A and B are shown apart, each in its own frame.
Chain A
Amino acid sequence: MSDILLGARNVSKRFPGVLANNDVSVHLEKGRILALLGENGAGKSTLVNILFGMYRPDEGHVIIKGEKVDLRGPDDAISRGIGMVHQHFQLVPPMRVVENIVLGAEPIRRGLVDIAEARRRVVELSQGYGLEIDPDAVVEDLPVGMQQRVEILKALYRNADVLIMDEPTGVLTPQEADHLLGVLRELTQTGLGVVFITHKLREVLAVADDIVVLRNGEVVGQTTPDETTESGLAEMMVGRSVVLRVEKSVAEPGDVVLKVDKLSVEDDRGQVALNEVSFEVREGEILGVAGVEGNGQRELVEAVTGLRDLSSGAMKIGADEFTTGSVRQISEKGVAHIPEDREKHGVIGVYSLDENSVLNRYHRKPFSIRGLLRRDVIKRHAEGVVEEFDVRTPSTSVPVSSLSGGNKQKLIVGREFSDDIKLLIAAQPTRGIDIGAIEFIHRRILEQRDKGAAVLLVSAELDEILGLSDRIAVLYDGQIMDVVDAQEANREKIGLLMAGITD
Chain B
Amino acid sequence: MGQVVKLQQKRLLYMGLIAVLVLIWFFYRANGPQTTAVLAGTVRAATLLALGAMCGMIGERSGVVNIGIEGQFLLSAFAAFTIASMTGSLFMGTIAGVGMGLLMGWVLAGMAVGLKVDQIIAGTVLNISALGLTSFFYDRSRSLGMGKYTNIDLGPLADLPLVGTVLFSRPPLTYLTMALLVVVHIALFRSVWGMRTRAIGEHPGAADTVGIDVIKLRYFNVTIAGGLAGLGGAYLALEAVGTFSRAMSGGRGFLALAVMIFGRRTPFGAYAAALFFGFTTALQNQFQLNSTFDIPPQFVGMLPFVVTIVVVALSGLIGSMRDPAALGQTYEKG
Chain A residues in the interface with B (C-beta under 8 A): 54, 73-75, 78, 84, 86, 89-95, 99-100, 103-106, 108, 111-113, 138, 141, 154
Report if B310 contacts A (CB, 8 A).
no
A106 touching B210 in the complex, CB below 8 Å, given contacts A93-B202, A95-B199: no
**Cβ-closest chain B residue relative to A112:** B190
A93 touching B191 in the complex, CB below 8 Å, given contacts A78-B210, A86-B209, A105-B210: no
A103 close to B325 (CB less than 8 A): no
Report if B211 contacts A (CB, 8 A).
yes
When distances are taken between beta carbons in the complex, the residues of chain A under 8 Å from B196 are: 103-104
Chain B, 199-258, CB within 8 A of any chain A CB? 199, 202-203, 205-212
A90 close to B195 (CB less than 8 A): no
B199 close to A74 (CB less than 8 A): no
When distances are taken between beta carbons in the complex, the residues of chain A under 8 Å from B211 are: 73-75, 78, 104
Report if B170 contacts A (CB, 8 A).
no
When distances are taken between beta carbons in the complex, the residues of chain A under 8 Å from B322 are: 94
B206 close to A90 (CB less than 8 A): yes
Report if B18 contacts A (CB, 8 A).
no
Chain B, 305-334, CB within 8 A of any chain A CB? 322, 325, 334
**Of the residues B190, B191, B210, contact of A103 by C-beta under 8 Å:** B210
A78 to B211, CA, bound (A): 8
A93 to B201, CA, bound (A): 11
Report if B192 contacts A (CB, 8 A).
yes
Q: How far is the CB of A267 from chain B (nearest CB, A)?
A: 16
A93 close to B192 (CB less than 8 A): no
Closest 4 CB pairs of A and B: A75-B211, A104-B210, A90-B206, A112-B190
B210 close to A92 (CB less than 8 A): no
Q: Which of B192, B212, B334 has the most CB of A within 10 A?
A: B192
A112 touching B191 in the complex, CB below 8 Å, given contacts A74-B211, A93-B325, A95-B198: yes
Q: Enumerate 13 A-B pairs (CB-CB under 8 Å) in ascending A order.
A: A86-B209, A90-B205, A90-B206, A92-B203, A92-B206, A94-B202, A94-B325, A95-B195, A95-B199, A103-B207, A104-B212, A113-B191, A141-B2
A92 touching B202 in the complex, CB below 8 Å, given contacts A74-B211, A86-B209, A113-B195: yes
Q: How far is the CB of B239 from chain A (nearest CB, A)?
A: 30
A105 to B208, CA, bound (A): 13
A92 close to B191 (CB less than 8 A): no
Chain B residues in the interface with A (C-beta under 8 A): 2, 186, 190-192, 195-196, 198-199, 202-203, 205-212, 322, 325, 334
A54 to B198, CA, bound (A): 23
When distances are taken between beta carbons in the complex, the residues of chain B under 8 Å from A90 are: 203, 205-206, 209-210
When distances are taken between beta carbons in the complex, the residues of chain B under 8 Å from A138 are: 2
How many pairs, one residue from A and one from B, have CB atoms within 8 Å of each other in the complex? 65
* Dominant secondary structure at the A interface: loop
When distances are taken between beta carbons in the complex, the residues of chain B under 8 Å from A74 are: 208-209, 211
Q: How far is the CB of A108 from chain B (nearest CB, A)?
A: 6
When distances are taken between beta carbons in the complex, the residues of chain A under 8 Å from B203 are: 90-93
**Cβ-closest chain B residue relative to A74:** B209
A92 touching B209 in the complex, CB below 8 Å, given contacts A111-B191, A113-B190, A113-B192: no
A189 to B195, CA, bound (A): 34
When distances are taken between beta carbons in the complex, the residues of chain B under 8 Å from A86 are: 209
Seed contacts A54-B334, A84-B209; 20 additional CB < 8 Å A-B pairs: A73-B211, A74-B208, A86-B209, A89-B206, A90-B203, A90-B205, A90-B210, A92-B198, A92-B202, A92-B203, A92-B207, A93-B202, A95-B202, A103-B195, A103-B196, A103-B206, A112-B186, A112-B190, A138-B2, A141-B2
**Of the residues B2, B191, B207, B334, contact of A104 by C-beta under 8 Å:** B207
Q: How far is the CB of B87 from chain A (nearest CB, A)?
A: 35
A111 to B199, CA, bound (A): 18
When distances are taken between beta carbons in the complex, the residues of chain A under 8 Å from B208 are: 74
Q: Which of A86, A92, A93 has the most CB of B within 10 A?
A: A92
A451 to B208, CA, bound (A): 52
When distances are taken between beta carbons in the complex, the residues of chain B under 8 Å from A95 are: 195, 198-199, 202
Q: How far is the CB of A167 from chain B (nearest CB, A)?
A: 16
**Cβ-closest chain A residue relative to B195:** A113
A168 to B309, CA, bound (A): 48
A113 to B206, CA, bound (A): 19
**Cβ-closest chain B residue relative to A75:** B211
**Cβ-closest chain B residue relative to A73:** B211
When distances are taken between beta carbons in the complex, the residues of chain A under 8 Å from B190 are: 112-113
When distances are taken between beta carbons in the complex, the residues of chain A under 8 Å from B209 are: 74, 84, 86, 90
Q: How far is the CB of A332 from chain B (nearest CB, A)?
A: 38
When distances are taken between beta carbons in the complex, the residues of chain A under 8 Å from B186 are: 112
A106 to B203, CA, bound (A): 17
A102 to B111, CA, bound (A): 32
A90 to B214, CA, bound (A): 14
**Cβ-closest chain A residue relative to B205:** A90
Q: How far is the CB of B158 from chain A (nearest CB, A)?
A: 33
A465 to B17, CA, bound (A): 58
When distances are taken between beta carbons in the complex, the residues of chain A under 8 Å from B207 are: 92, 103-104
When distances are taken between beta carbons in the complex, the residues of chain B under 8 Å from A154 are: 210
A94 to B212, CA, bound (A): 18
A106 close to B198 (CB less than 8 A): no
When distances are taken between beta carbons in the complex, the residues of chain B under 8 Å from A75 are: 210-211
**Cβ-closest chain A residue relative to B209:** A90
A106 to B186, CA, bound (A): 16
Q: How far is the CB of B75 from chain A (nearest CB, A)?
A: 33
**Cβ-closest chain A residue relative to B334:** A54
Q: Which of B199, B206, B211 has the most CB of A within 10 A?
A: B206
**Cβ-closest chain B residue relative to A52:** B209
**Cβ-closest chain B residue relative to A115:** B190
